[in-house]
Amino acid sequence: MKRRETLALAGASALAWPAARAAPAQSKKVLRYAFQVAETGFDPAQIQDLYSRILTPHIFEGLYQYDALARPFKIIPLTADGMPETSADFRTWTVKVRPGIYFASDPAFKGVRRELTAADYVYAFKRFADPVFKSPAWSFFADFEFLGLAELRKQAIDRKQPFDYDRPIDGLRALDRYTLQFRMPKPSPRFITTLAGGDLTGAVAREVVEYYGENITAHPVGTGPFKLVQWRRSSFIALERNPEYREVLYDGEPAAGDLEGQALLARLKGRRLPMVDRVEISIIEEAQPRWLTFLQRASDFIEALPAEFISIAMPGGKVAPNLAHQGVQGYRTLRSDSLVTFFNMEDPVFGGYTPDKVALRRAIWLGVDVEREIRIVRRGQAIPAQSPVAPNLWGYDPAFKSENGEYSVARAKALLDMFGYVDKNGDGWRELPDGSPLLLRKATQPDQLSRQLDEQWKRDMTALGIRIEFVTAKWPENLKAARAGKLQMWGVGSLAADPDGQGAFQRYHSKQIGGQNFARFRMAAVDDLYERMSTLPNGPERLAAMTEAKRLAVAWAPYKTHAHRYVNDLAHPWLIGYRRPLFWNDWWHRVDIDMDRRPPLG
> pLDDT per residue over 142-186, tens digit each?
888 999 999 999 999 999 999 999 999 999 999 999 999 999 999
Reduce the DSSP state of residue 528 to 3 states and report it.
helix
CB atoms within 10 A of CB 333: 16
Cα 528 to Cα 40, 460, 534, distances in angstroms: 33, 35, 10
The pLDDT assigned to 495 comes to 84
- The CA distance from 590 to 496, in Å, is 21
CATH numbers and ranges of domains, the chain: 57-218 (3.90.76.10), 337-565 (3.10.105.10)
| Cβ 389 vs Cβ 498: under 8 Å | no
Q: 355-366 vs 448-464: helix axis angle to the nearest 10? A: 120
Reduced to 3 states (helix: H, G, I; strand: E, B; else coil), residue 571 is strand
Cα-flanking dihedrals φ and ψ of residue 232, to 5°?
A: -110, 110
Annotate 514-526 with DSSP letters as a single string.
TTTBTT----HHH
Instruction: Note whether 123 and 204 are within 8 A (CB).
Output: yes
As a whole number of Å, the CA-based R_g of the chain is 25
Within 8 A by CB and 6+ apart from 95, the residues are 63, 80, 84, 85, 118, 179, 180, 181, 182, 195
Kind of pairing, strands 75-77 and 85-86? unpaired
- 283-287-289 Cα angle (round to 5): 70
Rounded to whole angstroms, what are the CA distances from 569 to 103, 360, 377, 519, 577?
33, 38, 18, 31, 13
Helices marked H in 189-272 — which ranges? 192-195, 206-212, 259-268
**Selection from 12, 45, 557 nearest residue 299 by Cα:** 12
Cβ neighbour number for residue 354 with a 10 Å cutoff: 10
Residue 144: its H or E element: none
Instruction: Centre a 10 Å sphere on the Cβ of residue 383 and count the other Cβ atoms it contains.
Output: 16
Q: Are strands 489-495 and 439-444 parallel, antiparallel or unpaired?
A: parallel
Burial of 257 per CB tally in 10 Å (0-12, 13-18, 19+): exposed
Question: Which stretches of the chain drop beneath a pLDDT of 50?
Answer: 1-25
What SS3 state is found at 67?
Answer: coil
Residue 593: predicted pLDDT? 97
Question: What is d(CA 403, CA 108) in angstroms, rounded to the nearest whole number?
Answer: 55
